[in-house]
Amino acid sequence: MRRASPPRVDVTPPREVAEIRRRRRTQGLSREDWADAALWSLREGVEALSVEALARRLGVTKGSFYWHFRDRSELLQAALERWEQLATENIIAKVEAIEQPRERLRALLITAFNEDPGQKVEVALAASVDHPLLKPVLARVSRRRIEYLVSLYQALGMPAAEARCWGLHAYSTFSGLLHLVHSAPEALPSGKGRARYVEHLMRTLVPGS
């Protein structure tokens, strides 16, 4: 009998601008509200992030922005920190709650390779890897993700050197997927085709599948 796949981990996305606007009417905007709104703006590229345009979308004046941030660079830094927390640390914490290491690995990979609106943020950030604020964050996130993957393979009983090879294989496959999302999205399957693709990856990236 074919084993059922573990469920995808519930990924918490940054809140949409419309939701943040609703919050403005009751509580005013927090630093995290601005960071979430900025993070969604990064889907259109780092250079597209504009304090003035973001304030218009949120329905506030720039005075609200300067209550929390000195300048655009500080907002960008906050958005990157928010992305790091949502797209890496929160997911790792949820995966860690799964008891069996093989199921932790499968759940993480299923979450990473299935379609997710947040991938557009990842693609935009990867396209701006040489930006002085992005470069150290992207490097730190990649190291964190790779080390966690390596730890999962080690938990399956692999020696450290072999686990590192498997971890690098898995993460480079994910990075290649992001490249295709940017350069040739029509090459990627969707719907049932995407499900078959993810199952193929499970057979490739999870030992003993």
Q: Is the dihedral of CA 117, 122, 125, 126 positive or negative?
A: negative
- Structure token pair of residue 157: 């009983």
How much is the pTM?
Answer: 0.88
Q: How many domains does one find in the chain?
A: 2
**Residue 91 resides in a domain:** no
Are 17 and 117 members of one domain? no
The burial of 42, by beta-carbon neighbours within 10 Å (0-12 exposed, 13-18 middle, 19 or more buried), is given as buried
Confidence of residue 121 (pLDDT cuts 50, 70, 90): confident
CB neighbourhood size of 178 (10 A): 18
Are 117 and 18 members of one domain? no
Q: What is the pLDDT of residue 208?
A: 85
* φ, ψ dihedrals at 105, nearest 5°: -60, -45
Are 110 and 185 members of one domain? yes
**Residue 125 resides in a domain:** yes
pLDDT tens track for 43-73: 888 988 999 999 998 988 888 899 999 999 9
Largest pairwise CA distance in the chain: 61
Are 76 and 102 members of one domain? no
Are 115 and 187 members of one domain? yes
Domain that holds residue 158: 98-209
**Residue 2 resides in a domain:** no
Are 185 and 102 members of one domain? yes
Q: What is the mean pLDDT of residues 145-160?
A: 98
